[in-house]
Amino acid sequence: MKAESMPVSHFNVLINVAQLLKEPAGSSRKYDIRGIVGEQARSSIQGEVTLVRTGQGILVRGELDVKVRLVCSRCLDVFPGSISLHVEEEYLPTTDVFDGLPLALSKEFPSSTIDSNHMLDLGEVIRQYTLLNLPMKPLCRPDCTGIKEMD
Ligand SMILES: [Zn+2]
């Protein structure tokens, strides 16, 4: 089984950025991820994210640790693992925060977006970064022989 095929859960991480969008470029906010993640995921993720107002949108930077289930590449056992992520992603608004009018986004430049209620959703970005950072050949323990021991 390839590591890529392991399901990685989607965290519900929504941040209301209406206020930050009204502030000048360079303004920032820091969040403990546990304070903004959905209750069920609180034990699977930790770290801190910083949101910085840029000229166009909001840059999210963070160092996160995510707990995942991995499949041992030798014995195929499922075991718990932990992945460290360095997240850096710019989100662009789809609605003008001052007049509520839709903003035109450039099509040749696909990006993460902030929805019309000024909610920034970190969940999908965390899922993608987790997938990118999964180990190629996870091992349940360094000396795994690939032979399952019978109880
Ligand atoms: Zn193993």
Q: Which domain holds residue 121?
A: 3-133
Averaged over 114-120, what is the pLDDT? 94
Residue pLDDT, tens place only, 4-58 = 445 567 778 999 999 999 999 999 999 999 988 888 788 899 999 999 999 999 9
The total of other beta-carbon atoms located within 10 Å of residue 51's CB is 21
d(CA 54, CA 91): 9
Averaged over 58-76, what is the pLDDT? 94
Inside any domain, residue 141: no
- CB-based contacts of 111, cutoff 8 Å, min separation 6: 57, 90, 91, 92, 105
Q: Please give the distance, rounded to the nearest whole angstrom, from the Cα atom of residue 143 to the centre of ligand 1.
A: 8
Inside any domain, residue 23: yes
pTM of the shown model? 0.83
Residue pLDDT, tens place only, 119-133 = 999 998 999 999 999
Q: Please give the distance, rounded to the nearest whole angstrom, from the Cα atom of residue 54 to the centre of ligand 1.
A: 46
Inside any domain, residue 139: no
CB neighbour burial string for 3-29, b if at least 16 within 10 angstroms, e if fewer: beebebbebebbbebeebbeeeeeeee
Inside any domain, residue 150: no
Inside any domain, residue 144: no
- Domain count for the chain: 1
Inside any domain, residue 147: no
C-alpha gyration radius of the chain = 19
Q: Please give the distance, rounded to the nearest whole angstrom, from the Cα atom of residue 72 to the centre of ligand 1.
A: 5
Q: Please give the distance, rounded to the nearest whole angstrom, from the Cα atom of residue 49 to the centre of ligand 1.
A: 34
Residue 141 scores a pLDDT above 90 = yes
Q: Nearest Cα to 17, choosing from 44, 47, 57, 68?
A: 57
d(CA 74, CA 71): 9
Q: Please give the distance, rounded to the nearest whole angstrom, from the Cα atom of residue 140 to the centre of ligand 1.
A: 4
Whole-number pLDDT of residue 1: 42
Inside any domain, residue 148: no
